[in-house]
Structure 1
Amino acid sequence: MPPETEITEGDIVGLVALDLPAPAQLRGRWAAFAAVCAARGPNATCRADGRVWHFDDSGGNWLDLHHLGEGRALLVGHDHEYSQTYYGPAAEEFGEDETDLLAGSPDWWRPVVQQTLDADEYVGFVYGFDADGWKRAAYSVPDGFQSVGLPALTMERTRESIVSFTRDAPGLGGATARQDAIDALVAADGDVTEAHVTAVIGKGGWDPAAGAAAARKFLAV
């Protein structure tokens, strides 16, 4: 689970501080992985949809980052194998004790969580971001965030994920995507061109225009 320290004074009582990158730090890496996914072909695994950034592992584990304005964001998701935080309807359905993922949280967290539940999705973790950084409710059971495997969480994980994802790119001819090209794709911070994508996937076979278009959607916020 993410490194964390309990908040005591000057913050909402009962919340826990999380050592996670700010949304602005995540954008370049998230957009870079979305670019190679889209270049390979139609793929909803990693994308920006308006003010929501999505990632899933194609196996039912997912997370969404909602940008709420005024410097606020909410990260909501679930891992069907490792989330042991049974929240809302899931607690009753599975006969488990409920973990209150909104305990001590400000009111602005609640609409996104309710919207997610209304879409018949389970919620395993809820992390809120504002000027004081990331926070979550206090609990001790695994919530599944780390096991979802968001590539954008670190630069190292982003590089590894892009290299793995592009191993069969025809334009690379069996080679491995160059690290400097991947770093440049990330550094574009969503303002990605076809040239950025081509430098990673090589020429021929995949669609760099689709990749660049998918990455640029992250510029909406």
Structure 2
Amino acid sequence: MQRPGTPDELLDPAELWARGGTVAAIEAAALVSRDFSGCYSVHADGVTWDDSGGNEWTLSLLDGGRAVLYGCDHEGSWTRFREPELDLLEGAPDWLPLDRLTPMQRGAELGFVYWYDGVWHRVDYPADVKDDGLGSTVGEIVDMEELADYVAYYLVGDEWGGGGREEVGEVLEGMIRQARDRALSAQSFAWLSDGMEPDVAAALDVAAAARLTGGAGSAG
């Protein structure tokens, strides 16, 4: 991804949501057997990625097919400490969750804010802004190869007997297709049983919280 990020690099919010929610569910299933806390989660505000090192993003789906994606790279988001201060919410629509975002900006917790109303937008950056942190944080979920690498090496690891990185990528793509149709089920996680004892109930709880189970239709 470019540095700083640009709106046209981002995928449709429903696709990002399906990917993030799917990986969060895989984490819930797989991490019971691994010494790793995971990065993806589903909660009231949306889907979040947090590396526990000050780098994070959250995607929230809003009414009317709208969405907002915000976060920061604690070292790479030049937008956070620019002088004069860069207002990442200047001219932003009032349907954004400003009660959540405004305090975060005041606390220098925001490196980027992108919002979606049919296409992605962000404020214009001055020429001296070299990076906003989008690529170093959101880049993994935009690039399916990177996302498959994360699942293969951090969540599945050498314990899985079903193959290597390529096989994990194929399974992951199939699960994301199911997630788009809200069709994730216990069977979706059965592949993890080849080498570990996944917590399928926990995975289904996460998938249900992300609305990726229970019937056909697009995520969100």
Same fold flag (TM > 0.5): yes
Aligned to 2:154: 165
Q: Kindly indicate whether the alpha-carbon contact (under 8 Å) linking 1:117 and 1:123 is maintained by their aligned counterparts in 2.
A: yes
Runs of 4+ with >4 A deviation:
1-5
Q: In 1, distance between residues paired with 2:4 and 2:193?
A: 37
Compared with structure 1, are the counterparts of its residues 4 and 166 closer, same or farther at alpha carbon in structure 2 (3 Å cutoff)? Answer: closer
Q: In 2, distance between residues paired with 1:121 and 1:174?
A: 44
Compared with structure 1, are the counterparts of its residues 48 and 150 closer, same or farther at alpha carbon in structure 2 (3 Å cutoff)? Answer: farther
Unmatched tracts of structure 1, length 5 or more: 6-15
Matched, 1:151 2:140: yes
1:24 is displaced (CA, Å) by 0.9
Aligned to 1:30: 20
Give the count of matched residue pairs.
201
Aligned to 1:202: 194
- Letter of the 2:85 partner, please give it: E
1:106 is displaced (CA, Å) by 1.9
Aligned to 1:20: 10
TM-score normalised according to structure 1 size: 0.76
Q: Kindly indicate whether the alpha-carbon contact (under 8 Å) linking 2:152 and 2:164 is maintained by their aligned counterparts in 1.
A: yes
State the superposition RMSD in angstroms. Answer: 3.0
Matched, 1:193 2:193: no
Q: Which has more helix, going by share of residues?
A: 2
- Letter of the 2:202 partner, please give it: A
Compared with structure 1, are the counterparts of its residues 135 and 125 closer, same or farther at alpha carbon in structure 2 (3 Å cutoff)? Answer: same
Unmatched tracts of structure 2, length 5 or more: 213-219
Alignment of 1:1-221 (within 5 A): 1-2=1-2, 17-39=7-29, 40-41=31-32, 43=37, 45-86=39-80, 96-109=83-96, 110-117=98-105, 122-131=109-118, 133-139=119-125, 140=127, 141=129, 142-168=131-157, 170=159, 172-173=160-161, 175-176=163-164, 178=167, 179-189=169-179, 191-200=183-192, 202=194, 204-219=196-211, 221=220
Identity fraction in percent: 28
Compared with structure 1, are the counterparts of its residues 59 and 17 closer, same or farther at alpha carbon in structure 2 (3 Å cutoff)? Answer: closer
Compared with structure 1, are the counterparts of its residues 44 and 157 closer, same or farther at alpha carbon in structure 2 (3 Å cutoff)? Answer: closer
Q: In 1, distance between residues paired with 2:4 and 2:110?
A: 20
Q: Which has more strand, going by share of residues?
A: 1
